[in-house]
């Protein structure tokens, strides 16, 4: 009888000791980890979009589009889905390279709806605006580029040609390859202000390369 009482006492003490010194933490309340991560990603993505969609100013008179009228002037050029689908990317890039301009950024992407709407915001009142946004975001990528060099904005517009291919010079991209306004292959900044906005919208400053091509002195000198 005494032995039974002793064994019962030891078992009780053992259980109490185990509870007192257990290192297993109590179960924490469940949280929706996946939902929290998704929300965090969405917030971070929107913050990045808000940061990059506005013009980015650098030091002094120079913006992300360089300095107007100098060899640092930059223009935003985009090959549209029809140009990509027709495999004209190489030919279009060659036009700017052969003219002597410097490629400082290039990437292929399918624009988001928000990016396309912001890029074409100045056309938002036009009846073709919804179909234009739908076309740019259709799934076929665009090729976004930044070109640099003296008067690259004005000269770039000449390389590209008039908006209506019927009015474009025969030697321009649109004059040679395009037929209709709705599929005119390419976009290029039409002014320094629009270049500043568009480059800042499509590229972060760290995506723009700073270098000097070996042929630069043979292209950009004024004397």
- pLDDT tens for 151-177 read 999 999 999 999 999 999 999 999 999
The H or E element containing residue 188 is: strand 186-188
Q: Which runs of consecutive H residues, i.e. helices, occur in 103-214?
A: 113-119, 129-136, 152-160, 173-177, 192-202
* CA-atom Rg of the chain in angstroms: 30
The residues annotated as belonging to the active site are 187
Query: What average pLDDT does range 98-110 have in this prediction?
Result: 97
Chain segment 51-86, per-residue pLDDT in tens: 344 444 444 446 899 999 999 999 999 999 999 999
Does residue 195 surpass a pLDDT of 80?
yes
| Residue list for the binding site for ATP | 80, 128, 157, 163, 174, 184
What is residue 196's predicted lDDT score, i.e. its pLDDT?
95
Chain segment 4-59, per-residue pLDDT in tens: 443 444 344 444 433 333 333 444 444 444 344 344 434 344 334 343 444 444 44
Domains of the chain: 72-204 (3.30.70.141)
Residues 6+ apart with CB under 8 A from 104: 74, 146, 147, 148, 208, 209, 210, 211
CA dist 137 and 165 (Å) reads: 23
Task: Identify the CA nearest to 80 among candidates 33, 139, 125, 124.
Answer: 139
| Residue list for the binding site | 80, 128, 157, 163, 174, 184
């Amino acid at each position: 009888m005494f032995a039974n009482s002793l064994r019962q006492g030891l078992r009780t003490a053992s259980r109490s000791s185990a509870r007192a010194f257990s290192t297993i933490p109590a179960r924490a309340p469940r949280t929706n980890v996946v939902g929290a991560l998704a929300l965090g990603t969405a917030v971070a993505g929107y913050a990045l979009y808000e940061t990059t969609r506005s013009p980015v100013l650098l030091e002094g008179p120079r913006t992300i589009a360089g300095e107007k009228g100098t060899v640092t002037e930059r223009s935003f050029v985009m090959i549209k889905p029809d140009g990509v689908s027709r495999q004209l990317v190489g030919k279009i890039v060659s036009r700017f390279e052969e003219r002597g301009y410097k490629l400082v950024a290039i990437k292929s992407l399918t624009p988001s709806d928000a990016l396309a709407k912001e890029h074409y915001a100045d056309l938002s009142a036009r009846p073709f605006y919804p179909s234009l946004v739908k076309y740019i975001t259709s799934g076929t990528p665009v090729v976004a580029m930044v070109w640099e060099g003296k008067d690259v904005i004005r000269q770039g517009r000449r390389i590209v040609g008039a908006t209506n291919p019927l009015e474009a010079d025969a030697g321009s991209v649109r004059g040679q390859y395009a037929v209709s306004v709705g599929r005119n292959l390419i976009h290029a900044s039409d002014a320094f202000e629009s270049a500043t906005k568009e480059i800042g919208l499509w590229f972060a400053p760290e995506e723009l390369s700073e270098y000097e091509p070996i042929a630069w002195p043979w292209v950009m000198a004024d004397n």
